[in-house]
């Protein structure tokens, strides 16, 4: 499948990665090459085959629904680019 | 004793236990080698103070285990408390975790010494260690005048172990990232069964495929390190609650009566004669050691790489959504009027390298409305068939499968610069099937090519039977007698 620049721009937007207008044609070409490679999968007969959800047959472990950790806001915020008064700070979200 | 850093883990363990050397001496020797080897680009964050403190503590310990006082390198993908852990990405610049990964916690509890953090491809996405924000790691093998790749993504780990900067290293393997670099540098690396080793505290790439494992100088050392790294962890819901065998005790070298499968689909068109010969030699050696050799078929092999390049990017696009400039790492400078969406978009554009961006966007595409069934669900169905291929041959009585580890020896750094991304992906053609099927796979050095570069063979085992797999690898290692070492140029 050939990917056009409009599709490349839409995917970049969905992925929240800024791509300059001038870089879109090359990106679209790379997508086309990778998707062309992936399309070999269309040769496989997958009729009646279940999509894999877990590679090992075991059930996921469960635990009691209780608090096991917490009460360490300083450690949680330590690596934040911007933290104030015990919160992560971000640009204004609500108008 | 001279050349302490050249010791294997098992030899160092024995010398430490007899009191012939101390961990402080061993650690100082390794730190000196690390400082002389900046040209290899292997260690990207050195931690000599932590190393010396751990070494002194190890020497003071009376009842230390197999790894007590053993200096290791840790791949940058593992979170290490208070030490830079940035997955070789610009987006995690300056990130110092407030916690320790389960794997490193277990290694340190067993007395291991950390020399520093090791180079890798950014977020473990790459096969040549050329996507790292730190710059390339370089292969210590350099028969000509050109620098070669140590492979990837665990390129720094492979380079450091092959150059005797450390006794062993941690690696991670999502599509071949332990086994391909091990093969390119003439060392041993095992990717265990999915769920054998906890993924907690290991920066996630593709969660259904990622497994950590050891990269070492021989099979015995891999067995020793794997035991320490393995085991159930309540913090990783996919880690298996199964007993961890004594992998080293399983190394008898006796493989009489074992059945080894040779898959015809791995004999690819255009396979170099040297690789073909290496594989035939390995087959003959296992036969001589008493194994029964059978031809097998894994019919969906051809579709493993395309399935992988749907599933891994899909999971990566989800896992890497957390890098948004809010909680850790890089945040882009904002322009007047920028809102939160611009902050996300600029932060991710600045922080991620090109290969990571490409894979995140491919993953976004295959998961997007209208394409989810055609790409993602189809790939997951093909994955079911790939796993079934293996289940069928194991049901026929096959104990292990022998294949080449890589389609070539190490290539020049920069050689793939202008190739389309798919060409680089082909490096994982022999290794990626085991990640999709969740199986253990081990790569060991098996010979040199006509350029004097190491080539590796891979053995694939039944799920949870790493002990048996390592024993087969040990028998092959004993027959191969690979003793070549890179000549020092760094």
Instruction: Measure the CA–CA gap between B320 and B313, rounded to whole angstroms.
Output: 10
> A-contacting residues of B 457-476, CB under 8 Å?
463
Tokens of B230: 């393995």
With CB atoms and an 8 Å threshold, state whether A40 touches B324.
no
Cα B294 to Cα B445: distance, rounded to the nearest angstrom = 23
Report whether pLDDT(B459) > 90: yes
CB contact (8 A) between residue A33 and residue B343: no
Instruction: Check pLDDT > 80 for residue A94.
Output: no
Report, as an integer, the average pLDDT of B105-134.
Answer: 98
- State pLDDT tens for residues A35-85: 999 999 999 999 999 999 999 887 777 889 999 889 999 999 999 999 999
Q: State pLDDT tens for residues B419-438.
A: 888 888 888 999 999 999 99
When scoring A4, A16, A63 by the number of chain B Cβ atoms within 10 A, the one with the most, hence best to mutate, is A16
Q: With contacts defined as CB-CB under 8 Å, which chain A residues touch B95?
A: 79
- B133-184: pLDDT as tens digits: 999 999 999 999 999 999 999 999 999 999 999 999 999 999 999 999 999 9
**Residue pointed to by tokens 């029964």:** B292
Nearest to A80 by CA among B283, B61, B65, B331: B331
Do residue A81 and residue B383 have CB atoms under 8 angstroms apart?
no
pLDDT of residue B25: 98
Residue B280 has what pLDDT?
Answer: 98
Q: What is the DSSP string of B245-271?
A: P-TGGG-----TT-EEEEEGGGS-TT-
Confidence of residue B49 (pLDDT cuts 50, 70, 90): very high
Main-chain phi, psi angles of A8, to 5 degrees: -60, -40
Closest CA–CA distance from residue A36 to any residue of chain B (Å): 9
Q: What is the pLDDT of residue B423?
A: 84
With contacts defined as CB-CB under 8 Å, which chain A residues touch B463? 56
CA gyration radius, chain B = 21
Exposure on the CB side of residue B441, measured as CA atoms within 13 A: 36
Is A56–B238 a contact, with Cβ atoms under 8 angstroms apart?
Answer: yes
Q: B375 with B310: CB under 8 angstroms?
A: yes
pLDDT at A6 over 90: yes
Confidence of residue A1 (pLDDT cuts 50, 70, 90): low
In this prediction, residue A2 has a pLDDT band, given cuts at 50, 70 and 90, of confident
| pLDDT value at residue B270 | 85
Shortest distance, CA A73 to any CA of chain B (angstroms): 11
Distance CA B166, CA B211 (A): 22
Span B280-299, average pLDDT: 98
Pick from A15, A34, A41: CB nearest B303 = A41
Partner residue opposite B365 with nearest CB, options A11, A39, A80: A11
- The answer, for B81 touching chain A at a CB cutoff of 8 Å, is no
| Rounded CA separation B437/B427 (Å) | 18
Distance from CA of A49 to the nearest CA of B (A): 6
Indicate which residues of B carry an active-site annotation.
75, 153, 177
What is residue B312's predicted lDDT score, i.e. its pLDDT?
A: 98
Tell me how close the Cα of B440 comes to any Cα of chain A, in angstroms. Answer: 12
Instruction: Tell me if A50 and B381 make a contact (CB, 8 A cut-off).
Output: yes
Reported as a single tens digit per residue, the pLDDT across B186-245 is 999 999 999 999 999 999 999 999 999 999 999 999 999 999 999 999 999 999 999 999
- The per-residue pLDDT for B419 is 85
Cβ neighbours of residue B18 under 8 Å, at least 6 residues apart? none
Which residues of chain A does B353 touch, with a Cβ-Cβ cutoff of 8 Å? Answer: none
Instruction: Tell me the pLDDT tens digit for each residue of B89-117.
Output: 999 999 999 999 999 999 999 999 999 99
Task: Report DSSP state, residue B40.
Answer: G
Confidence category of residue B401, pLDDT binned at 50, 70, 90:
very high
Over residues B306-321, the pLDDT tens digits come to: 999 999 999 999 999 9
Chain A contact for B307 (CB, 8 A cutoff): yes
The answer to whether the Cβ–Cβ distance between A30 and B421 falls below 8 Å is yes
Nearest by CB to residue A41, choosing from B349, B360, B378, is B378
Section B411-416 average pLDDT: 95
Kindly report, residue by residue over B349-397, the tens digit of the pLDDT.
999 999 999 999 999 999 999 999 999 999 999 999 999 999 999 999 9
Is B240 in contact with A58 (Cβ distance < 8 A)?
Answer: yes
CB contact under 8 A, A41 and B420: no
Contacts of B177 (CB under 8 A, 6+ apart): B120, B121, B124, B127, B152, B153, B154, B171
Q: How many CB contacts within 8 angstroms connect chain A with chain B?
A: 165
ipTM: 0.96
Q: Decide if A90 and B241 are in contact by the 8 Å CB cutoff.
A: no
pLDDT at B1 over 60: no
Query: Which of B194, B233, B320, B327 to probe the A interface (max A CBs under 10 A)?
Result: B327
Report CB contact under 8 Å: B310, A41. yes
Mutation for testing the A interface, residue in B378, B388, B427, B440 having most A CBs under 10 Å: B378
pLDDT of residue B2: 60
Mean pLDDT of B267-279: 92
Residues 82-121 of B with CB under 8 A from A: 94-98
């Amino acid at each position: 499948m050939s990917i056009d620049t409009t599709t490349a721009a839409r995917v970049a937007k969905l992925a929240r990665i800024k791509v300059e207008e001038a870089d879109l044609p090359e990106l679209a070409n790379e997508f086309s090459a990778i998707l062309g490679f992936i399309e070999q999968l269309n040769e496989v007969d997958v009729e009646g085959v279940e999509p894999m959800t877990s590679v090992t047959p075991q059930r996921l472990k469960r635990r009691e629904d209780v608090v096991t950790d917490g009460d360490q806001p300083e450690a949680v915020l330590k690596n934040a680019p911007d933290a104030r008064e015990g919160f992560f700070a971000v640009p204004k979200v609500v108008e | 004793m001279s050349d302490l850093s050249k010791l294997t883990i098992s030899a160092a363990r024995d010398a430490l236990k007899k009191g012939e050397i101390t961990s402080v001496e061993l650690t100082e020797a390794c730190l000196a080698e690390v400082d002389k080897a900046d040209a290899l680009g292997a260690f990207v964050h050195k931690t000599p103070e932590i190393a010396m403190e751990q070494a002194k503590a190890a020497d003071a310990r009376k009842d230390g285990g197999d790894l007590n006082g053993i200096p290791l390198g840790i791949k940058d993908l593992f979170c290490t408390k208070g030490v830079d852990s940035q997955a070789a990405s610009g987006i995690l610049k300056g990130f110092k975790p407030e916690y320790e990964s389960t794997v490193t916690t277990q290694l340190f509890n067993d007395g291991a010494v950390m020399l520093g953090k090791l180079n890798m491809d950014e977020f473990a996405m790459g096969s040549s260690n050329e996507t790292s924000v730190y710059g390339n790691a370089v292969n210590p093998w350099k028969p000509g005048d050109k620098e070669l790749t140590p492979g990837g993504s665990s390129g720094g780990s492979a380079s450091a172990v092959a150059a005797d900067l450390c006794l062993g290293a941690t690696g991670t393997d999502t599509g071949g990232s332990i086994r391909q670099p091990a093969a390119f540098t003439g060392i041993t690396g095992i990717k265990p069964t999915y769920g054998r080793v906890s993924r907690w505290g290991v920066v996630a790439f593709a969660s259904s495929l990622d497994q950590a494992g050891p990269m070492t100088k021989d099979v015995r050392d891999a067995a020793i390190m794997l035991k320490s790294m393995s085991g159930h962890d309540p913090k990783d819901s996919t880690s298996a609650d199964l007993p961890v065998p004594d992998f080293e005790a399983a190394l008898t070298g006796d493989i009489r009566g074992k059945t080894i499968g040779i898959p015809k689909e791995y004999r690819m068109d255009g396979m170099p004669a040297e690789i073909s010969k290496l594989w035939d030699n390995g087959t003959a050696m296992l036969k001589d050691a008493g194994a029964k050799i059978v031809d097998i078929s894994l019919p969906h092999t051809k579709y493993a790489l395309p399935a992988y390049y749907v599933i891994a990017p899909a999971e990566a696009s989800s896992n890497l959504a957390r890098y948004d400039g809010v909680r850790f790492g890089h945040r882009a400078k904002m322009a007047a009027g920028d809102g939160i969406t611009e902050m996300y978009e600029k932060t991710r554009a600045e922080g991620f390298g090109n290969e990571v961006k490409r894979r995140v966007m491919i993953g976004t595409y295959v998961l997007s409305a209208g394409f989810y069934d055609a790409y993602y669900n189809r790939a997951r169905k093909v994955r079911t068939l790939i796993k079934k291929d293996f289940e069928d041959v194991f049901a026929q009585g096959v104990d292990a499968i022998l294949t080449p580890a890589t389609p070539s020896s190490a290539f020049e750094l920069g050689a793939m610069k202008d190739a389309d991304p798919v060409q680089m992906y082909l490096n994982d053609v022999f290794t990626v099937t085991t990640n999709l099927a969740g199986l253990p796979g081990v790569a060991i050095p098996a010979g040199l090519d006509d350029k004097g570069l190491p080539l590796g063979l891979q053995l694939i085992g039944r799920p949870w039977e790493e002990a048996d797999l390592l024993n087969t690898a040990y028998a092959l290692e004993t027959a191969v007698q690979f003793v070549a070492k890179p000549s020092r140029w760094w």
